[in-house]
Amino acid sequence: MHRRTFLAAFTLTAMWQAYASDAQEQVFDLFTKIAGALSDGNVSVFVEAFDPDMPQLREVRLDVTALAAVADLTNSIEVVSDKGDDTHRAEELDWFLEIVEKADSHKVERRREVVKFRLERKGKKWKIVSVEPLHFFAPPKTG
């Protein structure tokens, strides 16, 4: 009897780990997709990853649109921290962003920062519900 209980518990644990791994993989795929979209200047794909009810969504959309309009972008991301379950995730990404101005390719800005995201599963899709620091995706300051 104890052996069956152990096997059932082991099987449930293995199933949970596989499910949690699926959530981690889906979230990582989302970030890979939006980093690629940003590198391609595809603002709509980048913004689509955000929850439409996120209070700062308008600011994110305006900043990323302005950024993509004035610069060619290259992105690199690395997961620093990945926590959560199958409905909520907290991610910290070491995000490197190279910004080369379209008007003058000699003007290059490099940003590297740990960017923190909170995500929630909305139906079958993960959506970003918050990002810090928000200014990371802002266009370069002129001056």
In this predicted model, what pLDDT tens digit does every residue of 132-142 receive, in sequence order? 999 999 999 87
Sheet of 125-132, strands arranged across: 71-84, 88-101, 108-122, 125-132
Lowest mean pLDDT among 19-23, 61-65, 127-131: 19-23
Residue at 107: amino acid letter: K
Q: Which pLDDT score is estimated for 100?
A: 95
Average pLDDT, the chain: 86
Is pLDDT larger for residue 57 or for residue 9?
Answer: 57
> Above 50 in pLDDT, residue 60?
yes
The pTM of the full predicted model, rounded to 2 decimals, is: 0.82
Enter the CATH code of domain 2-137.
3.10.450.50
- d(CA 16, CA 8) in angstroms, rounded, equals 12
Sign of the C-alpha dihedral, residues 38, 46, 92, 67? Answer: positive
Strands 71-84 and 108-122: unpaired
Higher pLDDT residue, 143 or 92? 92
129 closest CA partner among 120, 140, 137: 120
* pLDDT at res. 22: 85
Structure tokens at 48: 């689509």
pLDDT interval class at 21 (50, 70, 90):
low
Is pLDDT above 80 for 116? yes
